[in-house]
Amino acid sequence: MYRQLLIFATALALSGSLSAFADDNVPNYERDILPIFKERCTYCHGENEQKSGLSLHALGHLKRGGDRAVSVVPGKSEESLLYKALVEAGDIPKMPLDDDPLSKAEIDIVKRWIDAGAPGWKETPLARRIVKTDHWSFQPIADPTPPQLSDSSRVRNPIDQFVQQKLINENLSPSPEADRRTLIRRLSLDLLGLLPEPKEVEAFANDTKPDAYEQLVDRLLESPHFGERWGRHWLDAARYADSNGYTIDGARSIWPYRDWVIEAFNRDLPFDQFIIEQLAGDLLPEPTREQLVATGFHRNTLINEEGGTDKEQFRVEAVVDRVSTTGTVLMGLTVGCAQCHTHKYDPITQREFYEMFAVFNQCDEPYLDLPTPEQDIQKAELTAQVSAAKQALKEYTSLANKEDSIKTDSWKVIEQWLSSPERFWKPTQLAKVSAQGTTTFEDLGDHSWLAVKPENHETYILEFDANVGILSGLRLEALTHDRIPGKGPGYTPHGNFTLNNVRLEKADGTEIPLVRAVADHAQDGGPAENALDDDPKSFWAINGGKIHTSKEIQFELGYDVTVTKGAKLRLILEQAYGTTPYVIGRFRLSQTSAPRDYLQVALLQRQKWEQDEKFDLKQKSAEIQKQIKDLDPEHKRLQQAIQTTEAQLKNLKAQITRSMILRQRAQPRTTHVHVRGDFLRQGVEVNANVPAVLHDLPEGVDAPNRREFAQWLMSPQNPLTARVTVNRFWQRLFGLGIVETENDFGLQGSLPTHPELLDWLSREFMDQGWSVKSILKTIVMSHTYRQSSRIHSDILKDDPQNRRLARQSRIRLDAEIIRDVALDAAGLLSDKMGGPGVYPPQPEGIYVLTQVKKKWDTDTGPDRYRRGVYTYLWRSSPYPFLPTFDAPSPTMACTRRPRSNTPLQALTLANDAAFIEMAQGLAERILKEGPDYQEGRIRYAWEVCFSREPNEEELNRMSRFVSQQKERLQGAEAASPLGKSVDSDKIPIADRAAWLLTARVMMNLDEFITRE
C-alpha cells in the first residue's frame, strides 16, 4: 500500500508541477524512508547487527552514523555517505551489498529527504547504543550468601563455605591444613617474596597461641617488602621498564613511578584511588607530586627513536596501547581487538574503541622534575643568580645605548652607521688649538683646522666642549689641503705623519682613558692602537695604500667614565718622528655618543665593504654582532657570568631526578575512527565515551576526561574491575584465577569455577574500602589457602589443574623472586628500597645481539645484591636471568606470567657466576651459623632453604654428596678457586669447596624455586 503511494508521490514530484503539494512532497522519515530501510537495509544495519557500525532502524541511530563518517549532511545529498552508497559514488561499495540496488524512485526519496534538510534530523536526539547481553561478567556483582555446611570443621571463613560446598557436591573433601613450616614459608614467599629466617620458622612452629597464624599474616603485611612483592605484579601489568624500546632503546627515567607503586602497596592506598591516580592523577584537584608521578602508568609505552619514522604513527600506537592496556588490566576485556574492527565476540564496537581512544588522546607527555628540598633551594638560588646576571647585562647594554637617536637594536645601528656614518659623528667646533712648539693653526670654517709652519716634532692641543649627550667616541680626520706641500694629509712630501700618543683630558687635567683606537688605514708597523700605548717611540702612521688621501682614526672612551654634554675637554696629539715634519697638516675632530661597541667594528666592516664589492653585510650580521659583543671586556664579563650560572643551573637540573608523566593538553585533539586501525584512514569523528555494554556515566558527564573515565571505571556499579582484580589476587595465591582467562572476561574467556565466591570476594573488596591488604588477608586466612599442596592421587586424576581447590598448588617462583630468595638464603640480600635501577652481575656477551650496546657498569657494593624489582630493565635486552625464568618482555601489559621449565633455567641456576656467588654466601652461612658437624650442617641448610628438616633419605643422599666432594677435592688443585671464595679460615679449603658445591645443589633443587 505505502509503496504504491510512494510511487505515486514520486511520479508527481517528477512531473514538477505540483507546488501546491509542496509540503507533502517532502518525504517524511518515519513514513517514507524507514520502510525502505526496513525492507532493504536493516538486516545488516539494524538492531541486531551494525555492519561498519551503522544502524538505520531509527533516526537517532542513523544520526550516529557509521565508522567511516556521518551518514547524512542535511541539505547536501551529494556529500552524504548514505546517498553515495546507494548510487555507488566515492569509495564505498554499492549498497545493498551483493544485492539488487534500490529502485530509482526509492533512491530519489532518500535524496529528496536529504536535500530538503533531512526533516526531523535536528530535533531527534542522538541514539545511545543499547546493548543487551546476558554474559555473566557484564551482570551486576551479586551479593551471595555463603552456603551453610553441615561439617564446618575445616571452615575458617566464607571462602571455605563456597569452596567446600562445591567439593561436597562432587563428593570430595578439602585437604588438611599444611604443616606450620610449610605455611610460614608459603606466606613469606607469597606476601614478601622472601624466605622466613630459621628462627622465625622455629618460633612459629612452636607458637601455641590461637591467633599465631593471624599475627604472622599481620606482621608480614606490615613489612615494607610486601610492596616490593605485590608492586612487582602490578609493574608487569604496567609494562614498566627503564628504556624506550624498539631498536635504539635509549634510557629513560621513570623509576619514581616504580617506587610510587611499591609505596602505594605498602601504605595500602585504596585500590580505587590507586587506579584513579595512575590514570588521571594530573586531573585531580591540586595534584600532589606523587599523584603526578602515578600517571607514569601510561607513560610506560614504547618510544621509537629510529630515524625516518612518522611521529604521529608511534604516538597513535602509544594511545592504542593505553586503551588496550586499560581494557586488559582493569576491565579484563580484549578491547584491543576492536582497534581494527568491531569485536568479533564481545559487545565492543570499533567506534567504542575510538571513543575510549578519545579519552586517552588528550595527553602531553612531559617529564616531571623531582628535586629534593636542598635541590629546590639551590635551584631557586641559581635561577635568581641567572636572572640577576641577565638583568645586569641588560642594564649595562641599555646604559651604553642611551643616546637619543640610537635606541634601536645593534644591527640596525650598524647598518645605519655603515650606510651613513656622518649621521653619528657630530663635528666639533674647537674652542682653541695650540701647540707645545711654534706651530700655529688656522680655522678653515668647516670645523677643520690647518697647521701652519709646523715643527718636525710637535704636540697639538685641541680644546673643545663635549657636544653630544654622553660622549662615547672621538674621530680625528687627517685631511688633505692644497696648502700642505704634497697635499697632505701629513707634512712630509709623501703625505705621511706619525701620531705617537693621544690623550684626552678634562679641563682640570684629569685624564679620560681612551680604550681603543682604530683607523681606516695603517702602515705596517704603525697600527692605530700604537697611538694609545703611552710609548713615545711607537706610532700610528699611514704609509702605503693610496697616498695623499684623507685618513681617519677613531678613539673609544672607556665605559667607566661619563662625559656629558658641555664638559670642557682637551685632546693632546703627540707627533715625533724623523727629521722632516711627520705631523698632521689639516684635521677635524668629531664626537659621537653611538654605542661604543659599534665604533670599531663598524669602521672595520666599512673598510671591507668599501674594498670588496661582493661583501654582503646582511650575511655577516651575526658575525659582526658577535664581534661587537666580544670587544667590550665588561660585556664579556657579564656575559660570562650568565654562562657560568646557567651552566651551574643546567648541571643541577641534570642531577634532579625526573619521571615521565601525563599531562592534559591545553589544545584538545579531535578523534576519528581509524578505518581498519590505520591511523591514516580517518573515519567518523567521535567523542570520548564509555562502552555501552557497561554501566552509565554519572549524570551530567557526556564526554568524560581521563579523571571522569577513571572514576566511572572504579564505580561500584562496574561489574568488571573488582572481579578482575580479586581474580588476579586469587591467581597469585593459587596459581590460577577463579576465572582462568584472567585477562578475558568476555565471551571467549573461560567461566568462573566459583562464580559466587568471585562475587563475594569482589563485594568484600569494595566493602573493605578497596583495601588490598584486607582482601589478601581474608584470602590467606581461609582454610582453602592453608591446605596442603600434596597431590593425592584421586584428586590428581580428576583435577590436575586444581580447579576445584581441594588442595593448594605448588607454584614455581617468579623470576625476580628466585634471585631474591637465593640472595636471601646466601645472607647477601640488601634491604635498601627504591632509587634508580641497579646493575647486578650478568654473563658476558649479552649485547652482541642488540643494535646499541647497553650501559651496564656492574655494581660492586650493596647494589649488587638488591631485590630483582630494582634491576635496571632494558627493553631490548633484559637482564638475562629474568626472561629465562619467564619474566615478561616489558613491551605490553602482562597480567599472568607463564611458568616454563627449561634446560636454560637449569644452566643458569647451575653455572651462572652470580649464583655461584650466592652459593658461596649460603656455604658461609652454613659453616658459621650451623652446628659444626656434617649432618647438622645439612639440616641447617634445609632449614634455611626449605624451612623444614630433611627426611632420612634426603639427609643420607646429601651426606653422601658432601663426603664424595670432600674426597674428590682432597688435595686437588681444583679446590682452590671454590674453597678460597668461602670465607672461613677454621675449615680446610677442600671442605669449604665441598660446602660451596653442596649449597649449589640446594639452590638447584626444585623445592628451592617453588612455593609449596
Under rule CB under 8 A, which residues in 288-327 are in contact with other proteins? 302, 304, 306-310, 317
For other proteins, the closer of residues 407 and 792 by Cβ is: 792
What amino acid is encoded at 302 in this protein? L
Handedness of CA 558, 560, 564, 569 (dihedral sign): negative
Is residue 847 a contact residue for other proteins (CB under 8 A)? yes
For other proteins, the closer of residues 489 and 737 by Cβ is: 737
Query: By CB under 8 A, which span of 264-272, 609-617, 833-841, 900-908 interacts with other proteins?
Result: 900-908
For other proteins, the closer of residues 392 and 1005 by Cβ is: 1005
Instruction: Give the residue, chosen from 591, 721, 884, 947, that forms a contact with other proteins under the rule CB under 8 A.
Output: 884
Is residue 22 a contact residue for other proteins (CB under 8 A)? no
Nearest-angstrom CA–CA distance, 230 and 191: 7
Tell me how far, at minimum, the Cβ of 906 lies from other proteins, in Å: 4
Instruction: Give the residue, chosen from 251, 345, 717, 931, that forms a contact with other proteins under the rule CB under 8 A.
Output: 345
Is residue 959 a contact residue for other proteins (CB under 8 A)? no
Tell me how far, at minimum, the Cβ of 224 lies from other proteins, in Å: 31
Is residue 871 a contact residue for other proteins (CB under 8 A)? no
Is residue 537 a contact residue for other proteins (CB under 8 A)? no
Phi, psi of 664 (to 5 degrees): -65, 135
Tell me how far, at minimum, the Cβ of 538 lies from other proteins, in Å: 51
Q: Is 291 exposed, middle or buried (0-12, 13-18, 19+ CB in 10 A)?
A: buried
Beta-bridge mates of residue 571: 462, 504
Is residue 373 a contact residue for other proteins (CB under 8 A)? no
Is residue 905 a contact residue for other proteins (CB under 8 A)? yes
Within residues 726-785, the interface with other proteins by CB under 8 A covers 741, 743-744, 746, 748-749
Query: By CB under 8 A, which span of 403-411, 460-468, 691-699, 896-904 interacts with other proteins?
Result: 896-904
Is residue 812 a contact residue for other proteins (CB under 8 A)? yes
For other proteins, the closer of residues 391 and 902 by Cβ is: 902
Within residues 540-559, the interface with other proteins by CB under 8 A covers none
Grid cell listed for 297: 602508568
Cβ neighbors of 639 (< 8 A, separation 6 or more) are: 393, 629
Nearest-angstrom CA–CA distance, 955 and 937: 10
Query: By CB under 8 A, which span of 57-65, 328-336, 386-394, 560-568 interacts with other proteins?
Result: 328-336
Cβ neighbors of 693 (< 8 A, separation 6 or more) are: 131, 133, 138, 346, 347, 348
Handedness of CA 86, 88, 90, 95 (dihedral sign): positive
Q: Which of 475, 470, 713, 776 is nearest to 594 (CA)?
A: 470
For other proteins, the closer of residues 471 and 887 by Cβ is: 887
What amino acid is encoded at 362 in this protein? Q
Q: Which of 193, 241, 374, 208 is nearest to 825 (CA)?
A: 193
For other proteins, the closer of residues 338 and 628 by Cβ is: 338
Are the beta carbons of 873 and 836 closer than 8 angstroms? no
Is residue 721 a contact residue for other proteins (CB under 8 A)? no
Instruction: Give the residue, chosen from 796, 831, 929, 983, that forms a contact with other proteins under the rule CB under 8 A.
Output: 796
Tell me how far, at minimum, the Cβ of 347 lies from other proteins, in Å: 13
For other proteins, the closer of residues 566 and 800 by Cβ is: 800
Tell me how far, at minimum, the Cβ of 346 lies from other proteins, in Å: 8
Is residue 978 a contact residue for other proteins (CB under 8 A)? yes
Using CB under 8 A, count the residues that bind other proteins.
93
Query: By CB under 8 A, which span of 406-414, 686-694, 819-827, 892-900 interacts with other proteins?
Result: 892-900
Question: Residue written as cell 581487538?
Answer: 337
For other proteins, the closer of residues 650 and 957 by Cβ is: 957
Instruction: Give the residue, chosen from 121, 411, 609, 961, that forms a contact with other proteins under the rule CB under 8 A.
Output: 961
Cβ neighbors of 335 (< 8 A, separation 6 or more) are: 323, 324, 326, 327, 328, 343, 348, 353, 356, 691
Is residue 916 a contact residue for other proteins (CB under 8 A)? yes
Is residue 682 a contact residue for other proteins (CB under 8 A)? no
3-state secondary structure 562-582: CCECCCEEEEEEEECCCCCCC
Tell me how far, at minimum, the Cβ of 915 lies from other proteins, in Å: 9
For other proteins, the closer of residues 385 and 891 by Cβ is: 891
Beta-bridge mates of residue 462: 433, 571
Grid cell listed for 519: 683607523
Terminal alpha carbon distance of the chain = 77
Is residue 898 a contact residue for other proteins (CB under 8 A)? yes
Query: By CB under 8 A, which span of 10-18, 29-37, 62-70, 964-972 interacts with other proteins?
Result: 964-972
Give the up-direction half-sphere exposure of residue 619: CA atoms within 13 A in the CB hemisphere. 4
> How many CB atoms are located within 10 Å of the residue 229 CB?
26
Query: By CB under 8 A, which span of 112-120, 255-263, 558-566, 998-1006 interacts with other proteins?
Result: 998-1006
Within residues 571-610, the interface with other proteins by CB under 8 A covers none
Is residue 997 a contact residue for other proteins (CB under 8 A)? yes
Instruction: Give the residue, chosen from 848, 932, 933, 971, that forms a contact with other proteins under the rule CB under 8 A.
Output: 848
Length of the chain: 1012
Q: Which of 58, 79, 77, 67 is nearest to 124 (CA)?
A: 58
Query: By CB under 8 A, which span of 210-218, 555-563, 605-613, 792-800 interacts with other proteins?
Result: 792-800
Nearest-angstrom CA–CA distance, 814 and 386: 51
Nearest-angstrom CA–CA distance, 428 and 425: 9
Is residue 178 a contact residue for other proteins (CB under 8 A)? no
Are the beta carbons of 41 and 96 closer than 8 angstroms? yes
Cα distances from 276 to residues 140, 257, 261, 692, 763, in angstroms, run 21, 14, 13, 21, 19
For other proteins, the closer of residues 588 and 672 by Cβ is: 672
For other proteins, the closer of residues 793 and 860 by Cβ is: 793
Nearest-angstrom CA–CA distance, 24 and 5: 12
Query: By CB under 8 A, which span of 166-174, 564-572, 654-662, 882-890 interacts with other proteins?
Result: 882-890
Instruction: Give the residue, chosen from 426, 447, 620, 790, that forms a contact with other proteins under the rule CB under 8 A.
Output: 790
Tell me how far, at minimum, the Cβ of 552 lies from other proteins, in Å: 48
Query: By CB under 8 A, which span of 32-40, 567-575, 620-628, 968-976 interacts with other proteins?
Result: 968-976
**Per-residue burial over 248-277, b = 16 or more CB atoms within 10 Å of its CB, e = otherwise:** bbeebbbbbbbbbbbbbbbebbbbbbbbbb
Grid cell listed for 496: 705621511
Q: Which of 554, 867, 675 is nearest to 81 (CA)?
A: 675
Cβ neighbors of 15 (< 8 A, separation 6 or more) are: none
Is residue 1005 a contact residue for other proteins (CB under 8 A)? yes
Are the beta carbons of 358 and 687 closer than 8 angstroms? yes
For other proteins, the closer of residues 86 and 893 by Cβ is: 893
For other proteins, the closer of residues 94 and 968 by Cβ is: 968
Tell me how far, at minimum, the Cβ of 935 lies from other proteins, in Å: 15
Is residue 527 a contact residue for other proteins (CB under 8 A)? no
Instruction: Give the residue, chosen from 902, 936, 949, 970, that forms a contact with other proteins under the rule CB under 8 A.
Output: 902
Task: Report which DSSP code applies to 405.
Answer: T
- How do the residues of the chain divide into helix, strand and coil, expressed in percent and rounded to 5? 45, 10, 45
When computed from its CA atoms, the radius of gyration of the chain, rounded to whole angstroms, is 45
Handedness of CA 780, 164, 139, 334 (dihedral sign): positive
Query: By CB under 8 A, which span of 218-226, 269-277, 427-435, 959-967 interacts with other proteins?
Result: 959-967
Are the beta carbons of 409 and 621 closer than 8 angstroms? no
Tell me how far, at minimum, the Cβ of 969 lies from other proteins, in Å: 8
Instruction: Give the residue, chosen from 567, 910, 940, 987, that forms a contact with other proteins under the rule CB under 8 A.
Output: 910
